[in-house]
Amino acid sequence: MHLFHILRFTFLTCFTYASVQVSFSNRLKTIEEVYNFKNEVKINVDLKNDTEVNDPSTTIPPHVNFHNSHLNTEEDPIFTYNSSYCPIEEWNNVRTDSIPYADRHKLWAELNIGQAKYLYHESFALLAAFAHSDQIIVTMTSENQFNKTVYCRYYDCRRKEIPDQFETVVYPESTVFCARRPGAKYISISETLEEKPEYSVPIVPRVEKPPHYFTVCMATLYGDEPKFLQIVDFIEYYKLQGATFFHIYLRNVTDYDRVLLDDYVRTGDIEIIKMHDPYWRDDFMWHHVQINDCHHRSKYFSKWTALIDIDERMEMRSDSYKTVTSFLDTIHDPNVVNLHFKIQWIIKEFNTPERYENDEQLIEEMIFHKYQNLSRVGTFWTQPKCIIRPEKIGMMTIHAPLAIYSGIRRSLVNHEIAVVRHYRNVEQRVFRGAYQKMMNHAPFNISPIAEWIDRKLTSSILNRVKWVYDILDVNCDQKQSIYQRHGKLNASCWVEQQQLNDLDPSLGGTNASLFTEEEMTFASQATSEVSPPTETSEPSETSSVNTFSTENDKNAFKAPESSEKRSEQFRPSTPTQDTANTIENNQINPENDKNWVLP
């Protein structure tokens, strides 16, 4: 019946290791003593006493202390390793002495294809590394190291250098192709064999059949426009198009926006690649290295990859293919390696909102609701966007591949099949002339997105945004009872409530210690000038109106708005005006209501 009864095994009182010894606390020597000991027994780990002798084995008696009963005779074999354990996994037991397409790279270099000579880096500034069956691709954020002869430096799982370097060149720009080395888990690059290379980066295996079919690279996020609504729209939109993973490049966003990104990391939808190195560059100057990195990062990760900006939506236009993946599924020609889409512009006059307020606000602010004035279709050569087969492309740029390993460089997709809807913010223009370029594509016509996408997208955006930002509040008593469990801390809302009670005798507080009679008289005929008498509260225009109004009934009082943070947390058990509003808003569109309910 009890598990103790069946525990019959032998046990040593002392495990002897190389330099330490392990013994039971409370001067217990035998397992029998441990089992019969009333209190919890601990194990002491001490320096080894060589003269100590192991006791003989013992049989376990039936009645034992619960905490002393979970004993093992042997370590789980998975964990029988020490700090120097560094195995070579099967996928990584590969050595090569050349890189594929080396001749072609040499030819391209001679033709000077892809030299950037951009910015002022004084080192390579490694970004990432990916192991393929026949090479390791290292990406960098420098854009001025073209054709430089370098050495690949390999490190094992303990970052110990594997002294088997490989000579190669920086080609294409921001990229180094290295040979494979058994056991290499980290890699760096140096110009000479003598110098100490910069920090090594982990080698990410890409040696299996790609785990994804269609993924999306989002160009670097930066700038002052609030992003959370655009990010959730982007990700949820492309999920509806069949995308299953997103590489999101990040320079900076607000802390508020970052919460959403991190939530997508949590659920395995995205990876965030932080764009940073110790060299000067303005935020918008990350675009080329972002494209280059995502091109290589997507090889053997996905069959198809779209390289696009946060404000671009690939849109299927024919009845035959409703989603991007249903269209991609029809492509079987191995020479189609880069699908090229034309653009239509939409004038976007305003920034998207900084924060979620309520469902009605969010639905109204969704960019596909707010902005529908669409330009004519551009030509194939005005800022087109691409979906590529990453492993077939030799060099990628923002709008098209520069060089390819196999297939045809350009497959132009007729605009009756698909276009890219490009929302152009006219408020924040980095590039002069962009506005005029867009206006050249007049006339503009109102053209909403397909009804089924609108419906599904609205609902999935609401669900995610509410999951992330619509924090479920509880009342002040509930908060106070939790705070009290932490060394009798007080909830700030509770303190505030106490102060109010103290201030207004009708609310049942005691006034004796804090206020003079004069002050209390003043408080009881209170008008809007009254503010709570503490240092932390500042007076405010509207503060006490609700609090002291005679019309205000029993518990439906509101905390003064004088200290903003506190009143945010303060929620009386009866709904305040705020919560009443939210409930009302929820009911405004009863049709869609069911879709907004959290999963």
Ligand X SMILES: *[C@@H]1O[C@H](CO)[C@@H](O)[C@H](O)[C@H]1NC(C)=O
Record the tokens describing residue 170, joined without a space.
């920086």
Determine if 509 is a binding residue for ligand X (CB under 6 A). no
Determine if 6 is a binding residue for ligand X (CB under 6 A). no
Residues of this chain, 343-382, that bind ligand X according to CB under 6 A = 347, 373
Q: Which residue has the tokens 């979620």?
A: 356
Determine if 489 is a binding residue for ligand X (CB under 6 A). yes
- Identity of residue 49: N
Choose between 432 and 488: whose C-beta lies nearer to ligand X: 488
The whole-angstrom separation of Cα 6 and Cα 217 is 58
Determine if 109 is a binding residue for ligand X (CB under 6 A). yes
CA-wise closest residue to 169 among 187, 201, 147: 147
The whole-angstrom separation of Cα 311 and Cα 289 is 19
Assign residue 304 a region (left: φ > 0; alpha: ψ between -120 and 50; beta: otherwise). beta
Determine if 78 is a binding residue for ligand X (CB under 6 A). no
Backbone dihedral angles phi then psi of residue 22, each to the nearest 5 degrees: -120, 130
Nearest approach, Cβ of residue 266 and ligand X (Å): 21
Determine if 107 is a binding residue for ligand X (CB under 6 A). no
Stretch of 247-255, 266-274, 292-300, 588-596 lying at the interface with ligand X (CB under 6 A): 247-255
Residues written for the chain: 599
Residues of this chain, 395-424, that bind ligand X according to CB under 6 A = none
Name the helix (H) or strand (E) containing 565: helix 564-569
Nearest approach, Cβ of residue 2 and ligand X (Å): 35
Determine if 240 is a binding residue for ligand X (CB under 6 A). no
Choose between 144 and 511: whose C-beta lies nearer to ligand X: 511
Name the helix (H) or strand (E) containing 286: none
DSSP string for residues in 63-102: ---GGG----SS--GGG---TT-----GGG----SS-TTH
Among 252, 501, 540, 592, which residue sits at the site for ligand X (rule: CB under 6 A)?
Answer: 252
Number of residues that bind ligand X (CB under 6 A): 28
- Identity of residue 241: Q
3-state SS class at 445: strand
Among 9, 20, 25, 52, which residue sits at the site for ligand X (rule: CB under 6 A)?
Answer: 52
The whole-angstrom separation of Cα 423 and Cα 439 is 13
Contact track, ligand X, 254-293, x by CB under 6 A: x---------------------------------------
Q: Which residue minimizes CB distance to ligand X?
A: 512
Among 27, 63, 209, 488, which residue sits at the site for ligand X (rule: CB under 6 A)?
Answer: 488
Choose between 49 and 326: whose C-beta lies nearer to ligand X: 49
Choose between 123 and 372: whose C-beta lies nearer to ligand X: 372
DSSP string for residues in 487-502: TT---HHHHHHHHHHH
Residues at the contact surface with ligand X, assessed by CB under 6 A: 49, 51-52, 82, 84, 109, 112, 147, 149, 224, 252-254, 347, 373, 442, 444, 446, 488-490, 498, 505, 510-512, 517, 520
